[in-house]
Amino acid sequence: MEKKKKTILIVAFAVSIVATIVLLALEWTTTMHKMNTSEQTEFIYIDGDDDLDSVRVKSKLAWRFDWLSKMMTYRVRTGRYSILPGEKSLALFRKLRNGQQEPCNLTIPNVRTMEQMAAYLGNHLMMDSIQFAEAFMDSSYISRYGYTKETLPALFIPNTYEVYWDVSMDGFMKRMERENKSFWNKEREEKAKRTGCSHIEIATLASIVDEETANNAEKPMVAGMYINRLHRGMLLQADPTVKFALGDFSLRRIYFDHLTVDNPYNTYRYAGLPPGPIRTASIVGIDAVLNYVEHPYLFMCAKEDFSGTHNFAATYSEHIKNAKRYSQALNKRGVR
């Protein structure tokens, strides 16, 4: 009888040892399993539609997710989460559980329309493009930030910003507002006074300058010409504004019929600056306006060598000669 009891105790002890080893092994494989065996950081995106099952799949924690969620309470937290090279499953689960997401670098692009901006943002942040488009078209909403539908492009300073992927609309707009105020520092404010224009007007003129030339060195010259026309009360007669008014940015040549379009963005018909920027102005474009070159020129025309630069003229008769040479060059190339 004693021998039997002894045997039972030995078996029970052995079973407990094995069970302990199994549990320790299970815990080790659960918490110490490497989730990323590559040398590159990987990312998981958890959005507002995700639930426990989809997080389980996206995280690739599989059964480890179930095990860990029993030990530590978990609720879905949106965000962009990094999986570092060699990172263990427990570390990843804790990130997901605590909402320790990784910010992303968002580059505000140079685009011609707010529809294009909405599409871009929808591809780079958690909110979809429709949410952005609706907000950008909501006059009441954007007025909170001091803009109208026409002037809203002036809010955006094309640059790269570190933001959270799941940023809210209000959070995004407030961030853009802070970056805009930071951009307009004391030095730029002083230069803005020289132009006699507001921030929005400078961004509007800069958007025209950006469309007129891709040659950054020439932009202060172009800006100076338009400021001369503004100060003299002349029509700007900027071809890019006609393209914007027509909604056709593919036009390679502007004809007289194009100039007759009745649209406030058509600076051949309406005096002064258009209602708002015709694209998100670049920092180079804005600084070109702030640092515009003082010169006597009132006219410009693309050079006939198609270098992307311009011939400037102080008189209309000189401008007509420049325009004729350019027109002949277009005809020779068959540009319609």
Of 92-106, 115-129, 261-275, give the lowest mean pLDDT range.
92-106
- In tens, the pLDDT along 143-192 reads 999 999 999 999 999 999 999 999 999 999 999 999 999 999 999 999 99
> Would you say residue 27 has pLDDT above 80?
no
How far apart (Å, rounded) are the C-alpha atoms in residues 326 and 302? 7
Beta-bridged to residue 44, according to DSSP, are: 81
Range scoring the smallest mean pLDDT among 27-36, 183-192, 296-305, 307-316? 27-36
Are 230 and 212 within 8 A, CB to CB? no
Looking at residue 32, its pLDDT comes to 59
Band (pLDDT 50/70/90 cuts) for residue 119 is very high
Reported as a single tens digit per residue, the pLDDT across 233-253 is 999 999 999 999 999 988 888
pLDDT interval class at 25 (50, 70, 90): very low
Mean pLDDT of 320-336: 85
Please determine, for residue 3, whether its predicted confidence score (pLDDT) is greater than 80: no
Examine the pLDDT at 335 and tell me if it is beyond 60.
yes
Span 107-126, average pLDDT = 97
Q: In this model, does residue 209 exceed pLDDT 90?
A: yes
For the chain, residues classed under CATH 3.30.1490 are 31-102
Quick one: pLDDT band at residue 14, thresholds 50, 70, 90?
A: very low
Rounded to whole angstroms, the Cα distance separating 277 from 91 reads: 47
d(CA 333, CA 144): 50
Whole-number pLDDT of residue 18: 40
What per-residue confidence (pLDDT) applies to 327? 85
Q: Which of 48-52, 120-124, 258-262, 321-325 has the highest mean pLDDT?
A: 120-124
Average pLDDT, the chain: 88
Model confidence pLDDT, tens digit, residues 291-306: 999 999 999 988 888 8
Fold of 31-102: Dna Ligase; domain 1 (3.30.1490)
- Does the pLDDT value for residue 138 go beyond 80? yes
Give the model confidence (pLDDT) of 139-157 as tens digits: 999 999 999 999 999 999 9
| 13 confidence band (pLDDT: 50, 70, 90) | very low
Over the Cα atoms of the chain, what is R_g?
31
